[in-house]
Amino acid sequence: MPGIQAVAELAGVSTATVSRALSGKPNVSQKTRDAVLAAAAELGYVVSSNASSLATGRTRNIGVVVPFLTRWFYASVLEGAESTLRNHGYDLTLYNLAGGGDERRSVFEHFLLNKRVDAVIAISLELTGGELQGLLSMHKPVVGVGGPLPGVHTLSIDDVEVAQLATEHLLQLGHTSIAHIGGNDDFERDFHLPTNRRIGYEGALESRGIPVNPSLFRAADFTIEGGYAAAKQLLGSPRERPTAIFAASDEMAIGAILAARDMGLHVPDDVSVVGIDDHELSEFFGLTTVAQFPQLQGRMAAELLLDQLHPETRTQGALNTALPFELMVRSSTARPSSGRG
């Protein structure tokens, strides 16, 4: 089997450059990396992961923990992180915490501490002091996505501002009877997303002098089915029917659109609907939404991790970075019908 020297000669570079290129280190130009990869492929040269690990003390494996694996949002964040890490020669080991408290303790107290990983990405998980201490005791980088974590580099979305932006869009159109489909208690465990989005919704109403009506709130589970059931309750009484619905996720907003249609209502003439996420189905349903770019979040998390794994080639930024979001106006929102507000 050809060695690294043969690859270096064929690519016209040094063996050190071959090592950096094949290990995914960032301080190699794309042209040189392509030449090395082509030479290695032509010669059939394969890096020994065991030998590389022994030589560098690194496994080139990143542990990623998520609260749900089957939800579109988390899968999209993972896709962005995985593509960036793969381009730099890193594998990914995924830990799904949908099983609850016992499963979470097992992952943080056993698997992550004993598994050979170079770093950890925690997606939408508000880590406890004990969990953080256990990870930091490994002396390996940790990056959080979704909210601030003490002493850890994180990427945070401001859920209050996101909800305010969505609600203010409806207010600017002239709606004053705006319902909210939020999250139930199961989603309060990490960064209090349902509460913060409800705070943003209520704050937007109060800033316009509109009293908050508790009867215009329904809790659901961030699924299309949950949004459908909640919207049917909100839209069931013609006399008290809201002219608009702000759902705390696009999947619940899509459920609201389907419920309105099944009840013989037209979106947006009879009821406007806005969500949060910019789900892959949002454009198909014409859903107005606040995009939070989950694939970009994943890429940013991976790049932040690489900043820490390769500090000699990168500049460290602030401990917490605000994530971008943007209102995407489509056909599910319009001014309320004449005589209704």
Do 107 and 126 share a domain, yes or no? Answer: yes
Do 169 and 222 share a domain, yes or no? Answer: yes
Do 9 and 37 share a domain, yes or no? Answer: yes
User: Is pLDDT above 70 for 99?
Assistant: no
- 219 within a domain of the structure (yes/no): yes
Do 225 and 130 share a domain, yes or no? Answer: no
- 322 within a domain of the structure (yes/no): no
Q: Which domain holds residue 233?
A: 159-291
- 327 within a domain of the structure (yes/no): no
Give me the half-sphere count of Cα atoms (radius 13 Å) on the Cβ side of residue 226: 17
- 330 within a domain of the structure (yes/no): no
User: Is pLDDT above 80 for 234?
Assistant: yes
Do 114 and 186 share a domain, yes or no? Answer: no
> What is the per-residue pLDDT for 118?
87
Do 66 and 132 share a domain, yes or no? Answer: yes
The mean pLDDT of the chain is 87
Number of domains in the chain: 3
- 320 within a domain of the structure (yes/no): no
Do 301 and 153 share a domain, yes or no? Answer: yes
The residue ranking higher by pLDDT, 114 or 133, is 133
Encode burial over 157-172: b for 16+ CB neighbours within 10 A, e otherwise.
Answer: bebbebbbbbbbbbbe
Do 191 and 274 share a domain, yes or no? Answer: yes
pLDDT confidence of 57, banded at 50, 70, 90? Answer: very low
Task: Provide the 3-class DSSP secondary structure of residue 293.
Answer: coil
CA 278 vs CA 47, 75, 254, 289: distances in Å:
40, 14, 11, 6
- 133 within a domain of the structure (yes/no): yes
pLDDT confidence of 223, banded at 50, 70, 90? Answer: very high
